[in-house]
Amino acid sequence: MNKKKKIPTIHLKSGSPLGEALKKMVEHKRLRERYWVGEISLVELNQLLKEKGINKQYEPTVAL
């Protein structure tokens, strides 16, 4: 039988390494989505990643 699982809530303190990591992860995700929908260029994506301290740079997509 399927039981509804309760998800624990965690409130992270300011400056928490886990919080900072998750914040960067979400920022990266949002920027990547803006690139995918054509809102920003690849150059802008890489620039914004750099500005946010995310050490990831994208290369032009290889044809599928």
Residue 20 as a binder of another protein (CB under 8 A): the answer is yes
| Residue 17 binds to another protein (criterion: CB under 8 A) | yes
Tokens of 19: 């919080």
Which of 36, 41 has the CB closer to another protein? Answer: 36
Q: Which helix (H) or strand (E) holds 23?
A: helix 17-36
Return the C-alpha torsion angle 30, 61, 57, 49, nearest 10. Answer: -20
DSSP class of 22? H
Q: Verify binding: residue 42, another protein, rule CB under 8 A.
A: no
Which residues contribute to the site for another protein (CB under 8 A)? 2, 5, 7-26, 28-30, 32-33, 36, 54-56, 62, 64
